[in-house]
Amino acid sequence: MILHFIRNLDKIPFGSSEATAILKKTIPQLLPKGRWLPSLNEMDEKKLARAFFFHEPFKTLFFDPENKILIVLGSIDHLHILFDGDYQRIKPFLTTLHANLNFAFDPNFGFLTTKLETTGTGLKVKFFHGMLFSQKPDNIEAIPFEGGYIYQNTYSIGLLESTLVEQLKNLYSLLQTLFEQMQETGSSVALSIFERALEK
């Protein structure tokens, strides 16, 4: 599961080089074992997009191999934090980040981003699966991608980060269970088991 945290510095316009300069100075202090990555060629950019489901233009990348955190600067939003791992593992870094930088935040709407779908928690949760599941919750969409589907939340206003992560994690587990049942017992039997489980 890939977690995308999107943040913008308070009172600095979207897409600002001033924001990039501030973040370039601050990020290495918070992740001292990380490093700035050189410019990527087209093939490496495609690998990045495939690994983290990130398809926006950007200027600068910073990677912390110990914590497996990828920082993207210079996109329309000031800061993208991409993390492939458990939500609890990245929480300490987010707490430190919020203590050191002032982000655009509204008490009614939450974190302010350029897209309505990430305004609120400022979080996009994504995972890839080969199966399409039509009975997913209304706030989750499935986008075709390389022979399967990327499942992700469509909004986050009014939700907690932990709730959003748990919801996607549960959907992934459900899909895996269905997939394994289909392999073991045949698709018709598995689907009936799955439908009965949904009725409970």
Domain boundary among 64, 84, 114: 114
Do 142 and 133 touch, CB atoms closer than 8 A? yes
| β-bridge partners, 70 | 63, 82
Question: Both 73 and 167 in a single domain?
Answer: no
Question: Both 2 and 88 in a single domain?
Answer: yes
Q: Give 178's DSSP letter.
A: H
Classify residue 122: in a domain, yes or no. no
Question: Both 135 and 109 in a single domain?
Answer: no
Question: Both 16 and 67 in a single domain?
Answer: yes
Which domain does 48 fall in, by range? Answer: 1-114
C-beta neighbour count of 79 within 10 angstroms: 24
Total domains present in the chain: 2
Question: Both 103 and 179 in a single domain?
Answer: no
Classify residue 25: in a domain, yes or no. yes
- The rounded distance, in Å, linking the Cα atoms of 124 and 145 is 17
pTM to 2 decimal places? 0.85
Do 161 and 45 touch, CB atoms closer than 8 A? no
Classify residue 21: in a domain, yes or no. yes
* Average of per-residue pLDDT across 123-129: 94
Question: Both 13 and 110 in a single domain?
Answer: yes
pLDDT number for residue 47:
84
Question: Both 104 and 133 in a single domain?
Answer: no
Classify residue 77: in a domain, yes or no. yes
CATH code for the domain in which residue 49 is found? 3.30.590.10
Question: Both 110 and 182 in a single domain?
Answer: no
pLDDT number for residue 200:
45
Question: Both 75 and 169 in a single domain?
Answer: no
| β-bridge partners, 6 | 80
Question: Both 76 and 158 in a single domain?
Answer: no
Classify residue 26: in a domain, yes or no. yes
Question: Both 84 and 137 in a single domain?
Answer: no
Half-sphere exposure of 15 (CA within 13 A, CB side): 4
Question: Both 99 and 135 in a single domain?
Answer: no
19-63: pLDDT as tens digits: 999 999 999 999 999 999 888 888 888 888 888 888 888 889 999
Between 12-21, 48-57, 117-126, the lowest mean confidence (pLDDT) is in 48-57
Classify residue 123: in a domain, yes or no. no
